[in-house]
Amino acid sequence: MNSPLRFAFCVVVSLVWMGTTATAAVLVKEGKPTALIVLPQEPDAAEKLAADELGVHIGKISGAQLATTNVAPQDLPGLLERSRRAGIAVVRLGRAAALEKVIEAKSPFPGTFAIHVTKDQVRVAGREMGTVFGVMELLEQLGVRWFMPGELGTVLPAMKTVTVAEQQIAQAPSFASRWFQMPDRDWQVRLRCGGPVFPGAHGLPGPTFKAEPELFALIKGQRSARQHCLSNPKLLEQVIVRVREMRAKGRGPIIGMGPNDGRGFCECDKCRALDGGDFDPFSGEPAVTDRYIWFFNQVLEGLAADFPDTKIAFYIYHSYMRPPVRWKPNPRITGALAPIALDRVHGFSNPVAPEKSYARWLYQEWGKLLPELYDRGYWSNLADPGFPFIIVHRLRDEIPACHALGVKGWRVETFPNYGPQLPSMYIAARLMWDHKADVDALLADFAEKFFGPAAVPMGRYVGLMDAALRDSPDCTGSAWDMPHFYPAPLRAQARRLLDEGAKLAAGRGVYEARVRMVRQTFDMLELFVAMMDARTRVDFAEAQRALVQMDAVAAELMAQKPVAMVSAGRFSTYVNYMKRFYRPATEQGFARVTGGNRLVAAARDEWDFLIDPPRVGEGIGLWREEIRGGNWQKLKTSSASWSHQGLRYYKGLAWYRQTVEVPAQFKGQRVFLWCGGVDEKAKVWVNGQPIGISHGAAFYPFEMDVTEAVRAGAPNHITFCVVNDVVNELGTGGIVAPVIFYAPAAGKDAKLDNTRPLGDTFP
């Protein structure tokens, strides 16, 4: 016996309690190690990780440290015999377990594992990371859970004696590829995420715009770097050459390519001739899927002689989301469906979300065309700063449905907002591994183990918030409809459950900390709703107070160590999305009514509203104050999105108007019109006089000098024409924040550099 092996064996023997008659394998007895971890003589990375994870977790559970040794195949029989005589259980991992035939019979998927346990031996092995996943299965059998990353999310039972039940099992993942596109990969691995990562990419390898602008898109007669001119033969040649170079250097066989992210597709006659005449209703522009399928086919044909195994992976996305109608894809094309412009709240079969049946149709039709279809979807609320967003209902609907539709794997975009989304991503990982998993049992287990004495009210809270999204007819992709997802009576019910949970968990260590974390995510929601409600009432002082309090709660969650409970750092959802969508209107609105500035008058939240699909409103004079008729409807602005009011996918022009009384006391004073934001650009008239055009930065405030147009002591007619051509956030459009008149303090002036001259192009 070699020296390290002899040492490890002797350590265990010296601590064994002799005479054990249990039918299960005993790893630890009364706090003393009674097992030895055995690895192959030259273990690979997965085998080493499996041993480390097993040893670390057994140590945390019991306080006992299991010794580990490496053994050559010829030495294994002797070690097993000595262990048997001494009553030591041997934990054989990876190739040392000799379970290759069992694994081969189970599945070819990476991650497949087998576990065989007798009184004397625990054998765990698997394909690639399968040995690690097998160890995770054993630890889960012991009661270990990883509900979210970090110590707060980890459940570790305390036991002096650790036994593993006799068993012979083999498991294989339902999907070959299972990944969240977010950090904390060690946590994902513990949840058995793994397999190949879909290698799709934006852009084409090869040319640069500066060197060869003729290879790029022709838009309104000018070359643009936004996309490529696919019909140019020189572009095809360059892409083929570049891929050959990549393959020669060992890249591939799968090469990611596709359109650049965003719009700007070539309008030249030859490129348009490659299209199939289809139109994408969600991007609001002609579908360009066919031209790209044609191009990918040509690339693969050009590579067939030298690299016939080359595959192209692309994102099925934006205005190339619909299936091709003209060109049949080469079978060596793989795609990942990324339905960015579709409802992120509801599942495929939810009757309140008709567009999700369309999403299911997309998966179905692409699955007929491509041998391998992946999901590159979104399990996060787009542009959400980090408020509660529990979508278990959606996951338990869509993941099994995608399995039935033949989806091969997942590379899902989501945010590391672990507190607000808990337990959604945990459930998602379990379903990606086993699409038949009992979700109700998983939720019950989560509530019991994560919240302990507070399991009942906290489990009900999770169910309440999950059902609120499931049953809501709203489906916007940002936080604009939070007050509609979670109306006041529901929030009051949620608060009672959280308070009850806090009372039951008080003084109970980690359970108290977990309940507090969840309560803080709900505090953020309520403060956000309070801020938005106060803004709607034009109570900017109250809105500012709510914002300051929300910042404090978010800061505590983002500072959580070792893992932030709300996304932090450079890509912080709270910092970035509050700055992008909500903070400027609150802070600037507060500044416009304080510091000597005075509120003159405020527009009501409800305006007269009219859509203008043919874009003729300015020509027929919808801006004139004396105009009547025209079937204008009532529409709210800062308190509800377009989606909530029946305009879910409208793109184009829309008109807003109302009359505001300006007090006579402001006669002769400078007066400014301030708007907290529009989606995405507005032209403004006051009393029939054109005032200006906004800067075009969606959701960002702007102001205009209306001194010459306003009538003090009389009604004033305000008219906005808003263009919304681009999908900025799902379901939004038009005026999205308060509109006020204010008088600047004496000696102060407004900054008007955030507007465009009236001569600027609009829309």
Which residue, among 35, 59, 81, 196, has the nearest Cα to 139 in the 3D structure? 59
Rounded to a whole number of angstroms, the CA Rg of the chain reads: 31
Cβ–Cβ < 8 Å for 706, 691:
yes
Total count of domains within the chain:
2
Tokens standing for 293?
A: 């399928």
| Integer Cα distance of 369 and 323 in angstroms | 8
Where a domain ends, among 172, 193, 210? Answer: 172
| Integer Cα distance of 681 and 435 in angstroms | 45
* SS3 assignment, position 281: coil
CATH of the domain at 748: 2.60.120.260
Cα–chain center distance at 703:
34
Distances 47 to 339, 459, 517, 684 between C-alpha atoms, Å: 38, 37, 35, 67
Which range is least confidently modeled, 508-522, 534-548, 730-744? 730-744
Tokens standing for 642?
A: 């377009």
Cβ–Cβ < 8 Å for 238, 295:
no
| Integer Cα distance of 491 and 638 in angstroms | 20
Whether the CA torsion 325, 327, 328, 330 is positive or negative: it is negative
DSSP string, 90-158: EEEEGGGG--HHHHHHH-SSTT-EEEEE-SSEEEEEESTTHHHHHHHHHHHHTT-EESSSSGGGEE---
Which residue, among 440, 439, 367, has the nearest Cα to 399 in the 3D structure? 439
175, pLDDT greater than 90: yes
User: What predicted TM-score, i.e. pTM, was given to this entire model?
Assistant: 0.92
Tokens standing for 393?
A: 């209902």
Task: List, for residues 569-596, the tens digit of each pLDDT value.
Answer: 888 999 999 999 999 999 999 999 999 9
pLDDT recorded at residue 23: 73
| Integer Cα distance of 105 and 178 in angstroms | 22
- Please check whether residue 443 lies inside any domain of the structure: no
**pLDDT tier at 18 (50, 70, 90 boundaries)?**
very low
Task: List, for residues 346-371, the tens digit of each pLDDT value.
Answer: 999 999 888 899 999 999 999 999 99
Show the DSSP H helices in 611-656 as ranges: 617-620
Name the DSSP class of 238: H
pLDDT recorded at residue 340: 86
Domain span holding position 710: 597-756
Tell me how crowded residue 436 is: count the other CB atoms within 10 A of its CB: 9
3-state secondary structure 477-524: CCCCCHHHHCCHHHHHHHHHHHHHHHHHHCCCCHHHHHHHHHHHHHHH
Q: Which amino acid is at 194?
A: G
| Integer Cα distance of 29 and 35 in angstroms | 10
Which residue, among 639, 652, 649, has the nearest Cα to 739 in the 3D structure? 639
- Please check whether residue 528 lies inside any domain of the structure: no
Name the DSSP class of 198: P
| Integer Cα distance of 507 and 449 in angstroms | 17
| Integer Cα distance of 298 and 315 in angstroms | 18
- Please check whether residue 690 lies inside any domain of the structure: yes
- Please check whether residue 255 lies inside any domain of the structure: no
Contacts of 616 (CB under 8 A, 6+ apart): none
- Please check whether residue 636 lies inside any domain of the structure: yes
Task: List, for residues 294-328, the tens digit of each pLDDT value.
Answer: 999 999 999 999 999 999 999 999 899 999 999 99
Where a domain ends, among 129, 148, 172? Answer: 172
pLDDT recorded at residue 751: 54
pLDDT recorded at residue 4: 42
Q: What is the mean pLDDT of the chain?
A: 92
Calculate what percentage of the chain has a pLDDT beyond 70. Answer: 95
| Integer Cα distance of 297 and 344 in angstroms | 32
Q: Which amino acid is at 65?
A: Q
Tokens standing for 615?
A: 């874009």
Mean pLDDT of 491-518: 98
| Integer Cα distance of 469 and 204 in angstroms | 39
* Terminal Cα-to-Cα distance of the chain (whole angstroms): 83
pLDDT recorded at residue 247: 96
Which range is least confidently modeled, 141-155, 302-316, 360-374, 469-483? 469-483
Where a domain ends, among 172, 197, 228? Answer: 172
Helices (H) and strands (E) counted in the chain, each on its own, are 22, 34
Mean pLDDT of 136-147: 98
Name the DSSP class of 259: P
Cβ–Cβ < 8 Å for 415, 477:
no
Mean pLDDT of 145-153: 97
- Please check whether residue 689 lies inside any domain of the structure: yes
CATH of the domain at 145: 3.30.379.10
pLDDT recorded at residue 641: 85
189-203 burial, b at 16+ Cβ within 10 Å, e below that, comes to: bbbbbbbeebbbeee
- Please check whether residue 497 lies inside any domain of the structure: no
- Please check whether residue 97 lies inside any domain of the structure: yes
Task: List, for residues 398-421, the tens digit of each pLDDT value.
Answer: 999 999 999 999 999 999 999 999
| Integer Cα distance of 419 and 557 in angstroms | 8
Task: List, for residues 591-637, the tens digit of each pLDDT value.
Answer: 999 999 999 999 999 999 999 999 999 999 999 988 877 889 999 99
22, pLDDT greater than 50: no
Burial (Cβ within 10 Å: 0-12, 13-18, ≥19) of residue 517: buried
3-state secondary structure 551-618: HHHHHHHHCCCCCCCCCCHHHCHHHHHHHHHHHHHHHHHHHHCCCCCEEEEECCCEEEEEEECCCCHH
| Integer Cα distance of 165 and 184 in angstroms | 31
pLDDT recorded at residue 223: 96
pLDDT recorded at residue 518: 98
**pLDDT tier at 11 (50, 70, 90 boundaries)?**
very low
Cβ–Cβ < 8 Å for 73, 65:
no
Mean pLDDT of 520-539: 97
pLDDT recorded at residue 761: 64
Cβ–Cβ < 8 Å for 231, 297:
no
